[in-house]
Structure 1
Amino acid sequence: MAPGGGVLYDVIESRPKYLKYDVEMEKTVKTNTRASNSGLYELLECPVCATLMYPPILQCPNGHTLCSNCKTRVQSCCPICGFEMGSIRCLALEKVAELLELPCRYRSLGCHDNFPYYSKLKHEKNCRFRPYKCPYAGSACSVTGKIPELVAHLKDEHCVDLHDGSTFNHRYVKSNPHEVENATWMLTVFKCYGKQFCLHFEAFNLGMAPFYISFLRFMGEETEAKKFSYSLEIGGGGRKLTWQGVPRSIRDGHRKVCDGLDGLVIPRNLALLFSGGNCQELKLRVTGRIWKEKQVIRN
């Protein structure tokens, strides 16, 4: 009885020790794996721009690697040893990269997925968590951020008017002929349905002919923008032009919207006719409305 009990006691006591050992081994393996991957990431960093390299990854005769974009920056000389950088590719390192998975660069903004090395860049170009660019037209503003941050930025830095409501009525006046030719309406932001919209008005040329265009952009993703519609109307002297459309996401730059003529397009001669007077002064009233499309419930 005693020997049997002793054996049973030893077995029961020994199992937690092996379980603890397994857990410790798993932690060690994970730590070593992370350390190994960290070392690989360092190998894949370009020594010039310090970003991850993608094919073609070039190498000098001594085996030092460089991304193809930086070859001209170093005048085709290896930044490590000074040897000439030819067109030799480091195929081994390119193959190793295929085995890696990397987190999205916008992890801190909410994207927690990992992606194969060569798929990461493609994902990041369209990641829904990537920050938005400042939508202010006519400036080289490089500020990016989330929508609430950009709204505050537009108000504080660009002195943009913020309005609540889904309807608007703007009067636009330019008395200087030069301003008439290069008219750019200061951006206006409207808040309705818990979202923000940007109203634009600016001059452009279609061929040699001068035009104006007014359009609305949605401060959010395109999938959300498609849930809304808007209308614009402009007129004077018993004449009017109307436009109805879907707001574009601010992911699309305002120049892209202009080039696509996706808005209320007004020939300058007609705009001046609407304005009355001596055809040298712009006096336009733009009215509009934003509404949310009803969702069709399907059984």
Structure 2
Amino acid sequence: MASGSPFFDDLRNKPEVIDPPQGEDLMDINESSANDPTQTPIKPNFSVSSSVRELLECPVCLNAMYPPIHQCSNGHTICSGCKPRVHNRCPTCRHELGNIRCLALEKVAASLELPCKYQSYGCIGIYPYYSKLKHESQCVFRPYNCPYAGSECTVMGDIPYLVTHLKDDHKVDMHSGSTFNHRYVKANPHEVENATWMLTVFSCFGQYFCLHFEAFQLGMAPVYIAFLRFMGDDNEAKNYSYSLEVGGNGRKMIWQGVPRSIRDSHRKVRDSFDGLIIQRSMALFFSGGDRKELKLRVTGRIWKEQ
């Protein structure tokens, strides 16, 4: 619906998720069925036409509506999340909304079953209307965000697609093997910005891993951090471990950990300090020479736990 108002256009860009209702007559899915696309809840078969789906679409945020679904005196509906945003005025006819519930539409929704929105990614599940959101929030087929941290990349997709995207669009170095030896050089280590220096993708054990190395500000102190992310879900990431080593002048630092899934954003992993952290003074000490140029050699290994 074209409202012609910047106010409503802005609201459409702010989707709101409303928790599904709790009731004896509404089916729900357990954790195992949410993650197993072969386990689809049993409900009476109900053919959902496009017109019914349109009825359940909020005219403001354009998301599916969940109880309580409100309506004005003329019968126009709106989701409970958008009702206060439009100051209790119907976005269609401008009449006051009041507190009228559209119980008929809520009951129609309870009788529906719909495919997962990630069907094109491989999910074959069919879920009751009020269970669909919960499943989709946990669906193992939901796409991943691009793990590249050097820019605000909005690309999403499955792992094979993202690997190709990283190689072709971000020109990321791609390597095969479970060991690595990288040298990071910066002429002026005093210039520290919140920017990624390098992202390298490794292929081993039939999986893909992202090695990040960057500089960022920790309080007032500039530090360097290296960490590994797994291109897959967290339950798979836990099957692997990795180690990182950096040193010089007869000293060395070693980090061992479990790669984090790319479901966790780059910033979340970095800001949790889940990796090898090197203070700038120590990094310059490892670099040798007059300590005016950063020259770090980081070696590492990835292995699969038994």
> Normalized against structure 1, the TM-score is what?
0.80
**How far apart, in 1, do the equivalents of 2:97 and 2:294 lie?**
60
How much has 1:100 moved relative to structure 2?
2.2
| Alignment partners' CA distance in 2, 1:205 and 1:87 | 51
Pairs within 5 Å for 1:12-23:
none
Distance 1:42 1:182 in 2: 44
- Write the letter of the residue equivalent to 2:169: E
State how many pairs are aligned.
263
In the alignment, does 2:49 pair up with 1:61? no
> Structure 2: how far apart are the matches of 1:48 and 1:122?
22
CA offsets per residue over residues 98-148 of structure 1, 9 Å max, x none?
332221101121111122222211211121011111000131101111111
Cα contact 1:180–1:282 (8 A) shared by 2: no
CA contact (8 A) 1:44 1:93 kept: yes
SS where residue 150 of structure 1 aligns? helix
Q: Find the partner of 1:166 among 178, 182, 187.
A: 178
- Partners of 1:180 and 1:281 within 8 A in 2: no
- C-alpha displacement at 1:216, in angstroms? 0.5
Distance 1:40 1:179, change over 3 A: same
Query: How far did 1:152 drift?
Result: 0.9
Verify: 1:149 aligned to 2:158, yes or no.
Answer: no
2:19 counterpart of 1:34: no
Q: Is the 8 A contact 2:177 2:202 kept in 1?
A: yes
Q: What is the one-letter code of the residue matched to 2:164?
A: A
Correspondence for 1:297: none
Unaligned runs of 5+ in 2: 1-43
Find the counterpart in structure 1 of residue 285 from structure 2: 273
Equivalent residue, structure 2, for 1:116: 128
Change (3 A) 1:72 1:284: farther
Paired position in structure 1 for 2:149: 137
Contact 2:192–2:217 under 8 Å retained in 1: no
Letter in 1 for 2:142: R
- Displacement of 1:178 in angstroms is 5.1
- Cα shift at 1:182: 4.5
The whole-number CA distance in structure 1 between the counterparts of 2:277 and 2:123 is 39
- Separation in 2, partners of 1:226, 1:69: 37
Number of the residue aligned with 2:262: 250
Equivalent of 2:208 in 196, 206, 221? 196
1:160 counterpart letter in structure 2 = V
Shift of 1:41: 2.4
Percent identity (aligned): 70
Cα distance in 2 between the residues matched to 1:56 and 1:124: 21
Matched residues in 1 for 2:221 and 2:254: separation?
Answer: 21
Give the equivalent residue in structure 2 for 1:101: 113
Higher RCO (C-alpha 8 Å, min separation 6):
2
Which residue number corresponds to residue 45 of structure 1?
57
- Could you tell me how far apart the structure 2 residues matched to 1:67 and 1:83 are? 16
Q: Shift of residue 38 of structure 1?
A: 4.7
User: Is residue 282 from structure 1 mapped to residue 294 from structure 2 by the alignment?
Assistant: yes
Change (3 A) 1:175 1:254: same
Alpha-carbon deviation of 1:53?
1.1
Is the helix fraction higher in 1 or 2? Answer: 1
Over the aligned positions, Cα root-mean-square deviation in angstroms equals 2.3
Q: Check whether the contact 2:194–2:217 (CA below 8 A) recurs between aligned residues.
A: no
What secondary structure is seen at the aligned counterpart in 1 of 2:47? helix
Contact 1:232 1:288 in 2 (8 A): yes
* Cross-structure match for 2:10: none
Q: What is residue 23 of structure 1 aligned with on the other side?
A: none
